[in-house]
Amino acid sequence: MKYIIGIDEVGRGPIAGPVVVCACAIMEGTELLSLFPNNKLKDSKKLTEKNREKIRSKLNILNSEKKVVWGVGEVSARRIDEIGISLSIKEAMNDALLKLEDIGVSTKSKVVLDGSLFAPERYINQETFIKGDEKFVEISLASIIAKVYRDNLMTDISKKFSMYGFENHVGYGTKAHYEAISKYGMTTQHRKSFLKKLQ
């Protein structure tokens, strides 16, 4: 089976939580635009949470038919502090791609990536596009899968650290988040390398 792989990351900018990369492989010839409102591709951040969840649940059916398969990689806040965000994204991407390789997706597949991302060198047929999530359904779906995954993860984390509001800001540096850090200090989920002014 021939697949085209789309790759996107979520969580480059937050001050807490992991960075998440999804590699989404779509079987050539699979029609997926109809999953989107008005049949128009959108970056995951520009879709409502309800629309993201709806698309994500429909993907499970396509996944069972092997028309759409994906791998998700995540790197923790602690690891981000150790090696930096760029290397962390590379590490998460490699993990995501290894999961695809484990289920038989070839490294010879065409790969399209968003923004400034590059796949490992073993993927010789790759190309990066600015605003790729608005041009390629593979990237757009990777973005949606990664965002739903990370948002759910941050909601789970909020149960342990209820005073920080992770379920609302998902780790981004909002006023309420900074106020919570000021009041309660940092948690194991905070990226200390992003918060040097507060140390």
pLDDT digits (tens, 9 = 90+) for 95-136: 999 999 999 999 999 999 999 999 999 999 999 999 999 999
Q: Please report which confidence band the pLDDT of residue 198 belongs to, taking 50, 70 and 90 as the band edges.
A: confident
- The set of long-range contacts for 184-193, using a CB threshold of 8 Å and a minimum separation of 24, is 187/16, 187/161, 188/77, 188/78, 189/16, 189/17, 189/77, 189/157, 189/161, 190/15, 190/16, 190/77, 191/14, 191/15, 191/16, 191/77, 191/80, 191/81, 192/77, 192/81, 193/80, 193/81, 193/84
Number of structural domains the chain divides into: 1
The model's pLDDT over 13-40, given as tens digits with 9 standing for 90+, comes to 999 999 999 999 999 999 999 999 999 8
Which pLDDT does position 197 carry in this prediction? 80
| CATH number for 21 | 3.30.420.10
The model's pLDDT over 48-99, given as tens digits with 9 standing for 90+, comes to 999 999 999 999 999 999 999 999 999 999 999 999 999 999 999 999 999 9
Which pLDDT does position 56 carry in this prediction? 93
The whole-model pTM stands at: 0.95
Structural domain of 76: 3-198
Does the pLDDT of residue 1 top 80, yes or no? no
Which pLDDT does position 199 carry in this prediction? 64
